[in-house]
Chains A and B, each alone.
Chain A
């Protein structure tokens, strides 16, 4: 188990700046989610941590040890690829035991066998040890990938969107399992995903990246309630946050840099719904569409050519064309400078 520190980590592919001076410090035993859209640099960062790519500049530390000259095999890292990369010509047992078989000195056959059995039990492959790996279902391949990396007891575990190929039910199951195992062992894990629901649900810390740059590094709740810039605010949240120009809405708003304008943001679930004429309403908007999701509805409204989403309850479902009063509680308002897109403190933030 080890802590990881990325120090101004940069990777330039001669024209494409994939990772741009990323600074992150991950404590031992943390579950870190690397979150961001495709192409944001998260996979490249992982590859550098694993040793498959060398940084253009900057350094990676495991504990106190700089790692950029250490070859992948000697870093004690486990890495589960998105497509698993199972050794298809081997059996399940041979896949699992691979990390031990290539070790110097090579452990005895009994040691290897008992380790393989142990890991197979943990991931749930006990009955399939002799099956050829190419004949497995996708779910089982996933387990092999995990077990194969686990058996060598790495200090750090990297996973690159490991569950994206699984069906929904199994994905939810594996997420819970993984989190459980990680918590039990206290394994430092870095988990790449573009699914912010996954990140929010599993991570102790989230590092949000976009276009190679680190946007914010904080625990999930802070990312959600106090996004450091407009990108993070818009990226995180199952129903997307609402952005409106602050000056058009009757709320107290701060000023931006050099007295410039700011954008106001409020999450759909914080918007209160009242009668159109009510005094509490901050603005009045018209309903365009109602999406029933089961326990809640997503209500799409338009106001002055701006689209707004709010969350409603099925019991009080409005109809299309209705006017509704929207209440923006001041304490849930977020503000972002229009020039820098950074968060600006509003007058009411705690």
Chain B
């Protein structure tokens, strides 16, 4: 009996280690690539598993810190500081917009049954449509009102797209709150608004923060919307990464890897912070741990 369970434990550990290696390897590859000098990116006939001459050049290039006297063309083509800043601005603004509209709507749905029984599921249905599908008219419309390639354009679209998540998440948080909290405040003399801001909202602080971070990650990670709706003025980081790939300069793995790593750091850190709420967020509030 005891031998049996040691065998099982050994099998378990082996399986976890093997699958763990599979999961880690792509990240490992990108991280090490970001520290490799150009000669090690893709040498013919060889694969370099561990950077032999690690360097920070890729990062310097990506962050515009290089003071090498490179070609004017090449220097400007890998400096990603602007796109990174743009990503922050676009994701941040979109998140705020989604939060404002979403928290109010979620409260209305949870507390007052606004929009009737079907509204939550209608919002879920929105989520099912491929963004590419509505990109076309959005492109036309935004161009028409001169919001193409602007931050306001991005904020509106990001806000609309992640609004559903905010509603679903915050609705589940509001539902967990006993209604007595708001009612007690009203009995104490607050108006409905006062009750909302002073009594209800402070009690969902945790959920609100988690929702905000979650939506920020979503907006930060967006690719296709920014791809279609921006060109040079508001390019975001993922789009910039894409453009590096098709640049005539060839496959610049190093700087791309460096940019990739920088790109995924905020979501990784934020994601770990809201680990507890991830399942709830990604299943539209249907599954609460």
Q: Do chains A and B touch in the complex (CB under 8 A)?
A: yes
For B2, the closest partner residue in chain A by CB is A69
For A70, the closest partner residue in chain B by CB is B1
List of A residues within 8 angstroms of B1 by Cβ: 69-71
How far is the CB of B285 from the nearest CB of chain A, in Å?
23
Chain A window 84-99, contacts with chain B (Cβ cutoff 8 Å), 1 for yes, 0 for no: 0000000000000000
List of A residues within 8 angstroms of B2 by Cβ: 69
Complex CA gap A70/B2 in Å reads 11
Secondary structure class of chain A's binding surface, majority of residues: loop
Chain B window 1-27, contacts with chain A (Cβ cutoff 8 Å), 1 for yes, 0 for no: 110000000000000000000000000
List of B residues within 8 angstroms of A69 by Cβ: 1-2
4 interchain residue pairs of minimum CB distance: A69-B1, A71-B1, A69-B2, A70-B1
List of B residues within 8 angstroms of A70 by Cβ: 1
How far is the CB of B7 from the nearest CB of chain A, in Å?
15
List of B residues within 8 angstroms of A71 by Cβ: 1
4 interchain pairs (CB within 8 A)?
A: A69-B1, A69-B2, A70-B1, A71-B1
Chain B window 141-172, contacts with chain A (Cβ cutoff 8 Å), 1 for yes, 0 for no: 00000000000000000000000000000000
How far is the CB of A54 from the nearest CB of chain B, in Å?
9
For A68, the closest partner residue in chain B by CB is B1
Taking CB atoms and an 8 Å cut-off, the chain B residues in 161-211 that contact chain A are: none
Complex CA gap A71/B1 in Å reads 8
Taking CB atoms and an 8 Å cut-off, the chain A residues in 145-164 that contact chain B are: none
Complex CA gap A188/B196 in Å reads 63
Complex CA gap A71/B2 in Å reads 11
Complex CA gap A70/B1 in Å reads 8
Complex CA gap A68/B2 in Å reads 11
Complex CA gap A71/B5 in Å reads 12
Complex CA gap A69/B1 in Å reads 6
How far is the CB of A337 from the nearest CB of chain B, in Å?
44
For B1, the closest partner residue in chain A by CB is A69
Complex CA gap A153/B2 in Å reads 28
Taking CB atoms and an 8 Å cut-off, the chain A residues in 57-77 that contact chain B are: 69-71
For A69, the closest partner residue in chain B by CB is B1
Chain A window 118-148, contacts with chain B (Cβ cutoff 8 Å), 1 for yes, 0 for no: 0000000000000000000000000000000
Complex CA gap A197/B2 in Å reads 42
Complex CA gap A69/B2 in Å reads 8
Complex CA gap A50/B2 in Å reads 18
Taking CB atoms and an 8 Å cut-off, the chain A residues in 312-332 that contact chain B are: none
Complex CA gap A180/B10 in Å reads 50
How far is the CB of B32 from the nearest CB of chain A, in Å?
43
How far is the CB of B6 from the nearest CB of chain A, in Å?
14
How far is the CB of B245 from the nearest CB of chain A, in Å?
51
How far is the CB of B2 from the nearest CB of chain A, in Å?
8
Complex CA gap A289/B1 in Å reads 61
For A54, the closest partner residue in chain B by CB is B1
How far is the CB of A73 from the nearest CB of chain B, in Å?
13
Complex CA gap A338/B2 in Å reads 46
How far is the CB of B239 from the nearest CB of chain A, in Å?
49
Complex CA gap A320/B119 in Å reads 71
How far is the CB of B48 from the nearest CB of chain A, in Å?
49
Taking CB atoms and an 8 Å cut-off, the chain A residues in 252-272 that contact chain B are: none
How far is the CB of B8 from the nearest CB of chain A, in Å?
13
Complex CA gap A345/B40 in Å reads 93
How far is the CB of B110 from the nearest CB of chain A, in Å?
27
How far is the CB of A286 from the nearest CB of chain B, in Å?
52
How far is the CB of B139 from the nearest CB of chain A, in Å?
50
Complex CA gap A69/B3 in Å reads 11
How far is the CB of A50 from the nearest CB of chain B, in Å?
15
How far is the CB of A235 from the nearest CB of chain B, in Å?
37
How far is the CB of A319 from the nearest CB of chain B, in Å?
51
